[in-house]
Chains A and B, each alone.
Chain A
Amino acid sequence: KAGVTQTPRYLIKTRGQQVTLSCSPISGHRSVSWYQQTPGQGLQFLFEYFSETQRNKGNFPGRFSGRQFSNSRSEMNVSTLELGDSALYLCASSFRTSGRLQTDTQYFGPGTRLTVL
């Protein structure tokens, strides 16, 4: 199976602009989570989408948003970019199940390196 893919791999933006990042999950995976990775804060959870619904959201301002499409592909958007938004944005997909045989093993994409100038 093809792994998780993310586009673009690199982005350079200026303060005040907005950006959209895309994530294609592993075929059959319906859950997509987004994480921000920075040297200072480590890996921090942004949000999770499952069946086109946001199921959970991390402690980030409303400038960070996302959505998921019917084919499970997901996008995240950051509006009014700030210097502190420079980071590696990682998405992870999982074959999320519930109940007794619950599973949620998350597989990461290569990330999008966002630089805000």
Chain B
Amino acid sequence: GENVEQHPSTLSVQEGDSAVIKCTYSDSASNYFPWYKQELGKRPQLIIDIRSNVGEKKDQRIAVTLNKTAKHFSLHITETQPEDSAVYFCASNDLSGSARQLTFGSGTQLTVLP
């Protein structure tokens, strides 16, 4: 089955700096890659996603890049703010079949220091 590895497990940055979180996946059939943000005690919330036919996607301060050949994708957050502090999860899914499931990475605790 699919395996998603996520690094780093913890990340501290100064406010205003950029943060990068990286994930690798194992199943070449995976074609959909969402990123979720989970604040303490809250539900995971989708912040951005990308499909395998696209190499990069950007939404204001957040961007995701995908390298299908290397089977890795990354989340980039620019101009970080204290409210960006949370746990971030990457995930993968194969939308081509009838059996679907999100396979999650282990999460990255991002702390933005004021």
Contact = CB atoms under 8 A, between A and B. Distances in A.
A43 B89 contact: yes
Interface of A: 4, 31, 33, 35, 42-45, 48, 55-56, 58-59, 90, 92, 96, 98, 102-111
Interface string B59-95: 0000000000000000000000000000001010101
Sort chain B's interface into a size bin.
20 to 34
Please report whether the interface of chain B is mostly helix, strand, loop or mixed according to DSSP: loop
A3 B72 CA distance: 31
Please report whether the interface of chain A is mostly helix, strand, loop or mixed according to DSSP: strand
Contacts of A107: 46
Contact of A55 (B43, B98, B104, B105): B98
Given A56-B99, A104-B95, A42 B106 contact: yes
